[in-house]
Chain A
Amino acid sequence: GAGVSQSPSNKVTEKGKDVELRCDPISGHTALYWYRQSLGQGLEFLIYFQGNSAPDKSGLPSDRFSAERTGGSVSTLTIQRTQQEDSAVYLCASSPLLVRTQYFGPGTRLLVL
């Protein structure tokens, strides 16, 4: 079946603008995760959803970052007033209930000029 999909694949924006990144998890996967990977760095956890609720938002770096998930499926990560340090690849992953293996999407490469 289809894997995790993300859009856009690349996004270039100007400092101070808002951006929305979208993730479509694998159908039926109840858990959804957002990670960020800066140049030369490992993956950094941002937020986790179980269904539509986000029990762990501990990784969001500032209040400019928010995420929501609707219908237990699609999730949107919003970054307000983008800064240059927000430039990174944003990866989304999903996993089925009670299975801890996470399957990753191709990511969105964000560049803030």
Chain B
Amino acid sequence: EDKVVQSPLSLVVHEGDTVTLNCSYEVTNFRSLLWYKQEKKAPTFLFMLTSSGIEKKSGRLSSILDKKELFSILNITATQTGDSAVYLCAGIANAGGTSYGKLTFGQGTILTVHP
């Protein structure tokens, strides 16, 4: 059975701190790993990582995938209170040439950024 595990489960920091969120995965026929930010209900897409060792960056957020060790990290630098959210990672498997890819989610990391 496919499995994605995130750590830590929760994290409390102060504005300006840098945080690293971890995601390890065991996904049969793995294709990509996705990171989402969930503030209220709808997860919003952050990154999709398919190639190992290539950092993806968006503002203060960056992420990298290690397909040998089967993990990914999400870094947030100079954190702000607006970064407070649940961060979800999900593994997606290959399924031929279709867009099908059932996402297997981790349990999420709850990040709280205090002023």
Question: Which of A95, A101, A105 sits near B42, CB closer than 8 Å?
Answer: A105
A33 to B25, CA, bound (A): 21
B16-31 CB mask vs A (1 if < 8 Å, else 0) is 0000000000000001
Interface size class of B (residues with CB under 8 A): 20 to 34
User: If A91-B41, A95-B99, A107-B42 touch, does A100 touch B107 (CB 8 Å cutoff)?
Assistant: no
**Tally of A-B Cβ pairs under 8 angstroms:** 75
A43 touches B41 (CB 8 A): no
User: If A100-B48, A101-B34 touch, does A45 touch B41 (CB 8 Å cutoff)?
Assistant: no
A91 touches B42 (CB 8 A): yes
A6 to chain B, nearest CB (A): 9
A15 to B45, CA, bound (A): 34
A73 to B76, CA, bound (A): 36
Main secondary structure of the interface of B (DSSP, over half): strand
A109 to B42, CA, bound (A): 11
B43 touches A43 (CB 8 A): yes
User: If A42-B106, A106-B41 touch, does A100 touch B90 (CB 8 Å cutoff)?
Assistant: no
B8 to chain A, nearest CB (A): 14
A42 touches B88 (CB 8 A): yes
Q: Which of A48-56, A60-68, A77-85 contacts B (4 or more CB under 8 A)?
A: A48-56
Binding site for A on B (CB under 8 A): 4, 31-32, 34, 36, 40-45, 48, 88, 90, 92, 97-108
